[in-house]
Amino acid sequence: NSKLNPSEFEDILGNKSLLKQTTVTGESDSRPTRSTMATVSYKLSIIDSLTSNIHLIENVSKERFFIGEYDIIGAIDICVQSMNRGECALINCDIRHCYGDMGCHEKQIPAISTNNSYRMLIELELHDWQSPPDVRKLSIDERLYWGDKKRHMGNFHYRRQDNSTSIHCYNGALRFLNTDLNPILISFDENQRLILKDRYIQVENNVA
């Protein structure tokens, strides 16, 4: 990796709402694609455009997610697809690319209105990515991890009345929890299998 003089911001969507600036280059020609599993660290802050005050919202290390599957905030999900392995970038974007028009009350991110002028700032590092795993060969603990992660994201979007995204997340959870669709091909403990089945029923009820 090599440090750069800060480049001009890249206008990812062509409308100035999502800007990306590479600060550390990564490994050449190593961009991930949709559905690959990425590992990132990031700092998410909110900027008041009028006062330039910056408030740190969260600092997350080594977060894993499947690209394009709504496992993480949209700005990261989109921008990581233009990053190489090991790259660091600064993202300056509209709030809606992180938490939609309604913001996120629990994280003190205001809803979009004519009375505010906030933007989000994300310091993002793409550590690594890998091809999607064969779900059938994952440990039950790993299947439970991804099932719970996607179920929680589904619940988050459901609370925000984003039903189509919540259903997408719930269906993603079922991919890991449904042993008819993806049988368990490794040795396992029967109690763990019952936990997996219980989680599956929970998510099925969410979808219903």
The pLDDT score that the predictor gives to residue 119 is 92
The pLDDT score that the predictor gives to residue 21 is 96
Do the Cβ atoms of 111 and 46 come closer than 8 Å?
no
Strand order through the sheet with 10-11: 10-11, 18-24, 88-94, 118-130, 37-48, 54-66
Domains with residue ranges and CATH for the chain: 10-130 (3.10.50.40), 135-207 (no CATH)
- Phi, psi for residue 43 in degrees, rounded to 5: -115, 125
Q: pLDDT tens string for the chain (208 positions)?
A: 444 444 589 999 999 999 999 999 999 999 999 999 999 999 999 999 888 899 999 999 999 999 999 999 999 999 999 999 999 999 999 999 999 888 888 888 888 877 778 899 999 999 999 999 999 999 999 999 999 999 999 999 999 899 999 999 999 999 999 999 999 999 888 998 899 999 999 999 998 8
Q: How far apart are CA 12 and CA 167, in angstroms?
A: 27
The pLDDT score that the predictor gives to residue 5 is 47
Q: Could you tell me which residues come within 8 angstroms of residue 87 by beta carbon, excluding any fewer than 6 positions away?
A: 1, 22, 24, 25, 26, 125, 126
pTM for the whole structure: 0.90
The pLDDT score that the predictor gives to residue 7 is 58
